[in-house]
Structure formats: C-alpha cells, structure tokens
A and B are shown apart, each in its own frame.
Chain A
Amino acid sequence: EVQLLESGGGLVQPGGSLRLSCAASGFTFSSYAMSWVRQAPGKGLVWVSGINDSGGSTNYADSVKGRFTISRDNSKNTLYLQMNSLRADDTAVYYCARGVRSYDSSGYSYWGQGTLVTVSS
C-alpha cells in the first residue's frame, strides 16, 4: 500500500523557517517525481514545487522561488521542503504528492494527509 506521511508543520513567526518531510512507503520511491502542493484555509490547490526521480531537476512556483528548496533522499525514501523567509500568505496545508511518472507532468496519483503550516506572530 502506498503511503505518504508528511511532518514538520506548525506555527512559525513571519520571517522564520520550517522544514517539511514526507516519508514514502509502498512503492519504489526513486522511480517517481514528487511534488508539494498547498491549500490555504478555504481556498484551492496551489502547486508549490516539484522534483524529478533522481533529484536532478527541480522547479518552483514564482511565489516561493528563492525562499523554498525541494530535495529528496532516495536512500531514505523521503521528500523535503525547506521553507525560509516565511510570510503570512504561506499559511496552508502542505501536501506531498507522488507523480504518475519519473518527471513532473501535473498528474499526482497519491497524496499524503497534509501538514498545516501557520505563519503568524
């Protein structure tokens, strides 16, 4: 059974940092692209960042470019999102999602349960 388990969310002050993790199991992690997608309270889905199977290719939404860094450790079956210079509008549930293929193509076949990030003073 495919499982994606996010962790690392919480309350952080504006300007602060957080690192989200997503532990994957039930599939060959190193064969699939992975992405982070967020959803602000009561709002729609927003793509944040994606990484290919090897980790050699990463992409970011303009709203987080230069502040967030996506990475993966295929030996640990874990996806990460390092979030710096956090702002109030980064407040959202962050989902980890597995792609349908080795490169990101907007199709995400499995999703975690999400982890809430709240940026507030």
Chain B
Amino acid sequence: QSALTQPASVSGSPGQSITISCTGTSSDVGGYDYVSWYQQHPGKAPKLMIFDVSHRPSGVSNRFSGSKSGNTASLTISGLQAEDEADYYCSSYTSTSTCVFGGGTKVTVL
C-alpha cells in the first residue's frame, strides 16, 4: 500500500491554470476509474473536489477538472483564485479492496 506520488508543491498566478499529477500503478490508479481529489485548507476537514476520475460533486466549481491516462491521474485548476490556495490530495481504490492517498500537493497562488 505505497502512497500515490504527487508533487510537493505547485504554484501559479491568479487567472492561470495549474495541473497536479498523481502517479500510481496498474493496481490502483491505472486499474480502476475510482480516483478522487480533495482540497484541504489548514485546520479544516478535506473537501471532495473530484470523484470517479472526472466527476464533480454538486457545488464544486467547474474550474476544477480531473482526468487520467494510464497510471497517472491529473487535477487541473483553471482561472486560479486566491481561495484555491490549499493542500490537495488524490486517492484511488486498489486491487486489495483498500484505498490509498497521495502524499499531498501544496498549491500556492502567487
């Protein structure tokens, strides 16, 4: 159950687009369309932003989008805003019927 691999940090200017990658294996990310993304502000509980690779829950801005290619999933934030500054985590279902998170990516809005 090794953690999924995410970049430690990503930054961008307001209005720009950024993409966060999440790399796993064929036993998790590559094997199932069960990849999710979470946003977490300091001291707060995580918030679901994307599930099932590319589905947005009701109420989540359409500036957030998800995709997957092979063993790597991606979260794109377009039109970056100050409020998007937070930690982002990916997660995936695995072949052992467990779930695994990525190490997290700190997004900084310059």
Contacts and interface: CB of A to CB of B under 8 A. Distances in A.
A112 B45 contact: yes
Contacts of B100: 47, 106
Contacts of B16: none
Chain A contact patch, size range: 20 to 34
Chain B contact patch, size range: 20 to 34
B99 A35 contact: yes
A24 B32 CA distance: 29
Contact of B51 (A44, A50, A100): A100
B69 interface: no
A105 interface: yes
Contact of A60 (B38, B51, B98): B98
30 contacts: A35-B99, A37-B46, A37-B101, A44-B3, A44-B87, A44-B101, A44-B102, A44-B104, A45-B40, A45-B46, A45-B104, A50-B98, A50-B99, A57-B97, A62-B1, A100-B48, A100-B51, A100-B57, A104-B97, A104-B99, A105-B32, A105-B52, A106-B91, A106-B93, A107-B48, A107-B91, A109-B48, A109-B51, A110-B48, A113-B45
Interface of B: 1, 3, 32, 34-36, 38, 40, 45-48, 51-52, 57, 87, 89, 91-93, 96-104
